């Protein structure tokens, strides 16, 4: 007797759905802290209040450029142990953490803006595969 593939995804429990959403929570929490605090940090480093919105253009521009590329790459990646999306979660998390370690030591506005951009890039590297992971798993 052969088992035919029906294309149906297995139903997940509530705890599995919540577990998948923890990554979204962490990334969104980090971006909210960024939005809440970086304006004041920029001003302390010498930015005029009129320049701060320009510095915050890094996040949407980064998402516009990075997310399609990472989505394309993660669709075509397969790691024997981690699967399709998990390598990107790990890379994004580690490199975002490194950027966060160096961010408080920014001595200049240029350095703080650059590290924020690096943080946004690797936050997007982790975030885009989470979106695809959810659609891969949920029915």
Helices 86-102, 14-44: inter-axial angle, 10-degree rounding: 30
Full-model pTM: 0.80
What's the pLDDT score for residue 137?
Answer: 78
Alpha carbons 110 and 31: distance in angstroms, whole number:
20
Mean pLDDT by 10 residues, the chain (139 residues): 63 84 82 86 91 88 93 91 90 90 88 91 89 80
What's the pLDDT score for residue 65?
Answer: 94
What's the pLDDT score for residue 2?
Answer: 56
What's the pLDDT score for residue 92?
Answer: 92
Tell me which H or E stretch contains 123: helix 109-137
């Amino acid at each position: 007797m052969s088992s035919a593939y029906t294309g149906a995804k297995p139903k997940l429990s509530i705890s599995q759905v919540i577990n998948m959403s923890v990554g979204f929570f962490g990334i969104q929490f980090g971006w909210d802290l960024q939005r809440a605090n970086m304006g004041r940090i920029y001003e302390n480093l010498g930015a005029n209040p009129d320049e701060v919105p320009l510095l915050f253009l890094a996040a949407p521009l980064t998402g516009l450029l990075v997310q399609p590329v990472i989505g394309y790459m993660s669709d075509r990646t397969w790691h024997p142990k981690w699967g399709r999306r998990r390598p990107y979660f790990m890379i994004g998390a580690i490199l975002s953490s490194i950027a966060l370690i160096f961010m408080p030591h920014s001595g200049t506005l240029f350095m703080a803006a650059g590290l924020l951009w690096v943080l946004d890039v690797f936050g997007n590297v982790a975030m885009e595969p989470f979106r695809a992971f959810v659609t891969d798993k949920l029915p």
